Amino acid sequence: MRFVPHFADGSEFPQALGKIVCVGRNYADHAKELNNPVPTEPLLFIKPATSAVDLAEPLSPPFSRGEVHYEIELALLIGETLTHASHDEAESAIVGIGLALDLTLRDVQTRLKEKGHPWEVAKAFDGACPLSSFLPLPHVPNWNALMFTLEINGEKRQHGEGADMLFPVPTLVAEMSRHFTLQPGDVILTGTPAGVGELPRGAALRMTLTGGLEVNTNVIE
């Protein structure tokens, strides 16, 4: 079923989900844990709308294709068209904030990287982007104060803070708008902190975000 952007109160966003623009290695500790260099500019890629599923529903990753890794991320819902936006314009266009899992077929990605090939098939497959509902943003929040966590079977695996982003939210969204026109219904993923790993079959997941958002789901075995 196609994911419909919606807010925590149950109301739907008036536009359909568009593209999902992502950034890699936006947390230095995560880059280091994968033995990747810390970037000096955002590393951008896109997931299609068809990769999105509702994070509140049980997850059914393609385990038959090798290891599936979890990466929790802050998700931003765009409400205005942005092209070559300023920082202020970028901030004012964000109408909701939520959580996402950037699921990665790590074995597939590694093989493709070794050959110097694109690795969209490891990041953009159907179900690769579970998304939560969004908390509405009536005003610009303190991005540095935002915190989010992922627990797997009751054990905390990831903890992210806005203050630790290499490219803060306004900078990141403005930079994305230089390369891709952002439209209402597009979603931005802001990178994952350290602690990524293999997603266990049958696991219970709990995710939280500053502001009162909590999501619980299970992984189908």
pLDDT in tens, 114-172: 999 998 999 999 999 999 999 999 888 999 999 999 999 999 999 999 999 999 999 99
Of the candidates 77, 64, 195, the residue with the CA atom closest to the CA atom of residue 133: 77
Number of domains in the chain: 1
- Is the Cβ–Cβ distance between 5 and 17 less than 8 Å? yes
CATH number, residue 130 = 3.90.850.10
In a domain, 7, yes or no: no
- Is the Cβ–Cβ distance between 60 and 220 less than 8 Å? yes
In a domain, 5, yes or no: no
pLDDT in tens, 35-68: 667 778 999 999 999 999 999 999 999 999 999 9
In a domain, 58, yes or no: yes
Q: Which amino acid is at 142?
A: N
Q: What is the domain extent for residue 160?
A: 20-218
pLDDT greater than 60 at residue 31: no
In a domain, 86, yes or no: yes
In a domain, 30, yes or no: yes
In a domain, 158, yes or no: yes
Q: What tokens were used for 42?
A: 């955002």
Residue 34: predicted pLDDT: 61
In a domain, 4, yes or no: no
Q: ∠ CA 113-189-112 to the nearest 5 degrees?
A: 10
| Residue corresponding to tokens 């009162």 | 212
In a domain, 194, yes or no: yes
